[in-house]
A and B are shown apart, each in its own frame.
Chain A
Amino acid sequence: MLTQRTANLVFVLFLIGACSYFAWVAEGFITSGLLASSGLPSKFFPQLLLALTGGCACIVGYLYLVKGGAGDDGETVFANGAEARRGILMLGVAVACYFIWRDFGFLPMAVFLGPASLIAMGVRKPAMYLIVLAITAVVTVVFTYGLKIQLI
């Protein structure tokens, strides 16, 4: 099972990489016209924060590298395999719903979201599927006819 130590070290590396990339992007900010020479440059504040965030990420990384420094090194990110599977599958469902809605429309997404979520969570009772679909229908009706939002 993935330990907090490994996961945090990977995340710290990702953060440091992201901070470096965004700091480099900030170097390319162009201010044109008379405002170009007035006050502090636009890159100042983002780069200041990226330095702070990156610096603190280094400290977090150091604490995980020094055994016991972070306090939760030995703990795992997920309690067990089943919880990890449910969480990651649910994440996949949420992302899929976004693309289904964008590319195929609201109704396919609304029909997909509830049952797919229940499958991701390992729910087998048919009644739960009916309840979730009924709630989806009620929310759709409230937004479409009550708040006059053009969902469909």
Chain B
Amino acid sequence: MIDGSALISAFGLLMDPLTLFLLVFGIVVGLVIGILPGLGPPIAIALALPFTFYMDTVPSMVLLLGIYSAAIYGGSISAIAVGIPGTGAAIATVLDGHNMFKSGRGGEALGFSLTGSIIGGLFSAVCLMLVAPLLADLAVKFGPREYLAISVFGLIVVVRVAGKSLSKGLVMGGLGIFLTTWGLDELNGTERYTFGSYHLYEGLPLVPFLVGLFAMSEVLIGAERATRKVDFSTDSLSVKLPGFKTLLRMKDVIMRSSLIGTIIGIIPGEGAAVGAFFAYSEAKRRSKEPEKYGTGIPEGILAPETANNATVGGALVPTLTLGVPGSPAAAVLLGALLIQGLTPGPKLFSEEPDLMYAIFLGLFLINILMMFIGLLAIRFAAQLIRVPTAIIVPTVLFLSFVGIYSVSNSFFNVGVMLGAGILGYVVRKLGYSIAPLSIGFVLGPILENSLRQSLTIADGSFVEFFSTPIGLTIYLALALTILWGPVTSRLRK
């Protein structure tokens, strides 16, 4: 049921001039960061997090959501113009997008990318509005065993899809969770790994850790390739939006990609890149002319771009209703809610209905405004691809330092960020993915508390974990997720 009064109140909150300004500002910042190769949505949100300390909840969430959505879309601009995806989510767009650009149809390619992104984003915003309250109603019935099941599900799925090696993913997931055990034990006050420092009583702080992991590690990797030059022609950068008839002809691709993106976004850990690739391969598989994919056709842009922006609303479903982030970017967003003193989960819907509706409506508004901002700013924004990495690197480093310090005037937090950055850099260089590390760090406290409470309830028996219908369903879904691929490939043989 839609709460009418909360909806009206949320609309009022969104119409506040400062909130509207931050919404537009977020889109512009997200677009800029998305265009710059290497700086994806998690980094963009992480860099903006410290600023939200000084804001109310709705303006801060609207700012971060604007950045999130626009950064995913922005990645397609550099993918099309120079063949370098600005974000992982735009990798699938490179093939057809850049080929269209090279053949002088860049404006058309940018038009399809913008239109697909808007449609995917709007579709997932509607799904979020419809699905999230239902899931929240169900999640109210969740106890420690169900939370344990959903956290294990989220973590295992992240580990499975992040990187090539399952064992490396598990190492990172385990390390991320382990680091959350530092500080005072929440259940009995025991000091754990505090090493005599009172700073560690509350454990390692979330925001400096995530900023270090994403932004700092990217700074160090960016420094390595700082002298690489990027150049391109701006001749075909005027956006040409596709006509209604053209879109109607491609309605199947659009609808299928929107649905794929939203569903993949909902599954914890899958993320925008997986959604884009899945939608691209589905569009190709179902096409009457699959051989044309990769040569520069509109469907090859529309499918991944619709899907990757559709993952935004999808990823917010488990983040808001269960407190389990759907992607690394959503993990950072979850950190923003914690900064505001809010605990993501089903109770958020009954305790903060205005905020929930403001997020739903905000996401809707962001996608509509992104259309106009994209049309107006694309030509100028694309010039940013030329900004040398040598300027981006010190700027991001300085912003990370100052931003994290400003959160609590604490050098300890700056040290945590630096440590997390070095850890992130080292493990990325060694072929580990940082997604399980970040998700593990967010899920750690939920996992530990629910595991210990579950064991206490079950009197130490692990069998009892599977005794609740919801918990059992989640574990079965997990088993299905893990076994589906190997079983179907064996059956095909």
Is A bound to B? yes
- The answer to whether B406 touches A147 (Cβ under 8 A) is yes
- Say yes or no: is B393 at the interface (Cβ < 8 Å to chain A): yes
In the complex, A120 Cα to B394 Cα: how many Å? Answer: 11
Choose, from B8-16, B119-127, B221-229, B354-362, the stretch at the interface: B221-229
Residues from chain B with Cβ under 8 Å of A89 in the complex = 223
The secondary-structure label for the interface of chain B is helix
- Residue B421 interfacial (CB < 8 Å): yes
Residues of A near B187 (CB, < 8 A) are: 35, 39, 42
Q: How far, in Å, is A138 (CB) from chain B's closest CB? A: 10
C-alpha gap A132/B397 in the complex (Å): 11
Q: Which chain A residues lie closer than 8 Å to B390 at the CB level?
A: 117-118, 121, 123, 128
Q: Which B residues form the contact surface with A (CB < 8 A)? A: 51, 54, 164-165, 167-168, 170-171, 174-175, 177-178, 181, 185, 187-193, 216, 219-221, 223-227, 388, 390-391, 393-395, 397-399, 401-402, 405-406, 409, 411, 414-415, 418, 421-422, 425-426, 429-431, 448, 451-452, 455-456
Nearest A residue to B447 via CB reads A45
The 8 closest A-B pairs by CB, nearest first: A53-B174, A90-B223, A35-B188, A117-B394, A42-B190, A121-B226, A59-B167, A83-B224
Question: Given A31-B190, A56-B167, A101-B414, is A8 in contact with B430 using a C-beta cutoff of 8 Å?
Answer: yes
Query: What residues of B have a CB within 8 angstroms of the CB of A97 in the complex?
Result: 397, 401
Known: A45-B451, A78-B224, A140-B402. A60 touches B394 (CB 8 A): no
- State in angstroms the CA–CA spacing of A110 and B171 once bound together: 36
- The interface residues of chain A lying within 8 Å CB-to-CB of B188 are 31, 35-36, 38-39, 42
The A interface, classified by DSSP as helix, strand, loop or mixed, is helix
Whether the Cβ atoms of A70 and B165 lie closer than 8 Å is yes
Tier of interface size on chain A: 35 or more
Contacting B399 at CB < 8 Å: which of A26, A139, A147? A139
Q: Is A74 an interface residue (CB 8 A)?
A: no
Tell whether, in the assembled complex, residue A53 and residue B178 are in contact, meaning their CB atoms are under 8 Å apart: yes
Q: Which chain A residues lie closer than 8 Å to B456 at the CB level?
A: 39-40
A114 vs B394: C-alpha distance in the bound complex, in angstroms? 5
Q: Can you list 29 A-B pairs with a CB-CB distance of less than 8 A?
A: A7-B429, A22-B193, A31-B185, A31-B188, A35-B187, A35-B189, A42-B185, A42-B192, A45-B448, A45-B451, A46-B178, A46-B192, A53-B170, A56-B171, A77-B430, A87-B224, A90-B220, A90-B393, A94-B421, A113-B394, A117-B394, A121-B226, A121-B393, A128-B388, A128-B390, A132-B394, A136-B398, A139-B399, A149-B402
